[in-house]
């Protein structure tokens, strides 16, 4: 069905298509019957794909990076779902147009700017999901990560307080939280990856953990950092109690693009990011023993295996889901199991553990 719908969706403005997809997912998430059908067609997990990391159990290593509706996406077969990035203060984001498809490159360029309704509203929604009866299909059945960003209205000097307000709102309802300090679409945000501001942010999260209880805290990094900068971030994260690192966010570089509108400002994601994301993963794996989540240019089972062999514990994707549609998680898991059987891997955890 997606093969029929995709040409129609791709004729729409990219953000209009995104919003239409969100509405469809919200409708599906509100219906037990729709969720049952999605689960029947797309869901299901083989126990050989389970991964345990950050003190959490993931039914498979394939997560959705950010931003969409939780119950429907869990029914499509993702092993985790990220939401956000959310900010302490509701904000409209950057002016439209701010999302572009690069079809020839299987890539997106976005300069969304953390458009969201604020951390308090997201927390209420997550609380409702967590409060559903245990036998309700709408209750989250995979780990949910909340990505937190800096409000555009917050000055750099107030970043710690601003992040802390957002974290406090969502803390009890997230399985893990992610410091997004690497989006290229909020002025000055990437400066928070430097040693001193990152130490302060992680210290604030540690203080909140002492007050509200422990939740794994991850840091999402830019692919545009130098090798030395990546090593500094890895050192700070390990010393400050971070549970892991997510590598990577989108890039401001434009490696070998063919699309005519490739010059739009914003962060690039998708297939052209693959080599850069893989090289960042290699640097980090050589610099830290923290668990790593690899993101960027992941389209199939071979991509997943390459990242796991290179030292990732989990992967996340988003752009490939836009281009390939709802059958992608199921297809990757099926092919992943076939590769494991051919290679003699009885359990994915053995592969992940061997790579760390």
Active site residues: 183
Query: Rounded distance, CA 218 to CA 294, Å?
Result: 12
Helix (H, G, I), strand (E, B) or coil at 13: coil
Helix (H, G, I), strand (E, B) or coil at 349: helix
Query: Rounded distance, CA 124 to CA 178, Å?
Result: 18
The half-sphere exposure of 25 on its side-chain side, counting CA atoms within 13 A, is 18
Rg from Cα positions in the chain: 19
Query: Rounded distance, CA 160 to CA 192, Å?
Result: 10
Residue 342 burial (C-beta neighbours within 10 Å; 0-12, 13-18, 19+): exposed
Whether residue 67 contacts residue 84, with contact meaning beta carbons closer than 8 Å, is answered with yes
Q: Which two tokens stand for residue 23?
A: 């509405």
Helix (H, G, I), strand (E, B) or coil at 333: helix
């Amino acid at each position: 069905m997606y093969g029929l719908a995709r040409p129609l969706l791709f004729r729409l403005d990219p953000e209009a298509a995104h919003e239409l997809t969100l509405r469809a997912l919200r409708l599906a998430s509100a219906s037990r019957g729709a969720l049952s059908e999605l689960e029947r067609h797309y869901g299901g997990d083989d126990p050989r794909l389970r991964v345990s990391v950050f003190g959490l159990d993931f039914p498979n290593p394939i997560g959705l990076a950010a931003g969409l509706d939780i119950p429907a996406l869990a029914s499509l077969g993702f092993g985790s779902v990220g939401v956000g990035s959310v900010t302490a203060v509701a904000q409209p984001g950057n002016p439209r147009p701010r999302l572009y498809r690069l079809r020839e490159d299987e890539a997106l360029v976005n300069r969304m700017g953390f458009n969201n309704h604020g951390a308090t509203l997201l927390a209420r929604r997550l609380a409702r999901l967590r409060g559903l009866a245990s036998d309700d299909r709408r209750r989250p059945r995979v780990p949910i990560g909340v990505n937190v960003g800096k409000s555009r209205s917050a000055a750099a000097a107030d970043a710690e307080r601003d992040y802390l307000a957002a974290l406090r709102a969502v803390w009890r309802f997230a399985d893990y939280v992610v410091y997004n300090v690497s989006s290229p679409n909020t002025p000055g945000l990437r400066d928070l990856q430097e040693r001193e501001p990152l130490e302060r942010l992680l210290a604030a999260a540690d203080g909140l953990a002492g007050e509200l209880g422990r939740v794994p805290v991850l840091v999402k990094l830019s692919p545009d950092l130098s090798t030395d900068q990546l090593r500094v971030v890895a050192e700070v994260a390990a010393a400050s109690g971070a549970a892991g690192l997510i590598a990577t966010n989108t890039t401001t570089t434009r490696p070998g693009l063919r699309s005519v509108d490739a010059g739009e400002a914003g962060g690039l994601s998708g297939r052209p990011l693959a080599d850069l994301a893989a090289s960042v993963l290699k640097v980090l794996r050589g610099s830290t023993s923290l668990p790593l989540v690899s993101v960027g240019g992941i389209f199939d089972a071979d991509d997943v295996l390459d990242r796991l062999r290179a030292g990732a514990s989990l992967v996340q994707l988003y752009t490939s889901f836009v281009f390939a549609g709802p059958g992608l998680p199921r297809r990757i898991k099926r092919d992943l199991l076939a590769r494991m059987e051919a290679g003699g891997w009885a359990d994915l955890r053995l592969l992940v553990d061997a790579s760390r």
